[in-house]
Structure 1
Amino acid sequence: MAFENPSRDEIRTILEKTTNIAVVGLSDKPDRTSHMVAAAMQDRGYRIIPVNPTGADTILGEKRYNSLAEVPDAIDIVNVFRRSEFCAEVAEEAVKAGAKVLWLQQGIESEEAADIAAAGGLQVIMDRCIKVEDAVTRPVRG
């Protein structure tokens, strides 16, 4: 059966229940897409947990971790900014870390990663920008 993303309503529910987002591949360079998206999500009230084996000790004011295994806090969403060929390994780490959702950013798809994550009990979203989905499903409330 072909992979299908959750509906917009399901994505809204996921985001409403989310506090901590571990961003795998988060760059400490402000001009990078991962940094811009993570900063926007942080501005919307989410806690961003940077996961990248290289870079500054802190990114967006949060301690950087080398891997998901090092993150001491609960992870709601693992948001991935890595090429597709690295996503299966990230999915395995996400399952071991007890994450609830594996989210592959826009332009990233991996059936293998989706299968690993789903088998481990995670919801999976692929080829969608978390920032766009949050803006569409959870508009700013006045």
Structure 2
Amino acid sequence: MGRELTSDDEIRGLLHATREIAVLGIKPETHATQPAFYVSKYMQDAGYKIIPVPVYYPEVTEILGAPVFRDLREIDSELDMVNVFRRPNDIDKHIDEIIAAKPRSVWFQLGIRNEAAANSFIDAGINVVQDRCLLVEHKALMR
């Protein structure tokens, strides 16, 4: 059974256990000033493997030097985390895809909460973090 992680210790433990992060809704380098790109770049620079899963930009085949996937279910490795850059209402259309990919955790970026989706992930045994910036939390907790 998964759970929602809220304490600094829980989030620190999650960050320590995470190596690969699939970024759902990542933006390409042409949008470098937007969080959906620079948070992923920061995490890559911090040593995490980033797997780009953009929702738009059909012409883009590579982001941050890694091949683009169009569906989380196409990724052939075990995912530690899916970092979500989607509006709260847009997450619903990805619930089945995320559950099928079986990540250990799902992280909703700052400003993103979706209780129904979070509960679906928790019921599927996936830990959830909501409404927190991965970059900010990493900087604060992983010194």
TM-score of the superposed pair, with normalisation by structure 2: 0.90
Kindly provide the amino acid, as one letter, of the partner of residue 133 in structure 1.
Answer: E
Among residues 76, 81, 95, which one is paired with 1:77 in the alignment?
81
* Structure 1 match to 2:46: 44
Is 1:18 the counterpart of 2:18? The answer is yes
Contact 1:84/1:108 (8 A) holds in 2: yes
Provide the residue aligned with 1:8 in structure 2: 8
One of 38, 60, 71 as aligned partner of 2:64: 60
The ranges of structure 1 where at least 4 consecutive aligned residues each deviate by more than 2 angstroms after the TM superposition are: 3-6, 88-92
Residue aligning to 2:136 = 132
Report the Cα distance in structure 2 between the residues aligned to 1:133 and 1:13, rounded to whole angstroms: 12
Q: For residue 27 of structure 2, what is the aligned residue in structure 1?
A: 27
RMSD across aligned positions (CA)? 1.4
Q: Structure 1 length as normaliser, TM-score?
A: 0.91
Measured in 2, the distance between the counterparts of 1:118 and 1:91 equals 11
Counterpart check, 1:96 vs 2:100 = yes
- Report the counterpart of residue 123 of structure 1 in structure 2: 127
Q: Which has the larger displacement, 50-59 or 96-105? A: 50-59
Segments of structure 1 that go 5 or more residues without pairing to the other structure are none
Which letter maps to 1:75?
L
Whether the aligned pair in 2 keeps the contact of 1:92 and 1:117 (CA below 8 Å) is no
**C-alpha distance after superposition, 1:26-68 (max 9, x if no partner):** 0002122110100000000000000014331000001111011
**Structure possessing the higher relative contact order (Cα contacts under 8 Å, 6 or more residues apart):** 2
Q: How far 1:103 sits from its partner (Å)? A: 0.5
Identity over aligned pairs, percent: 36
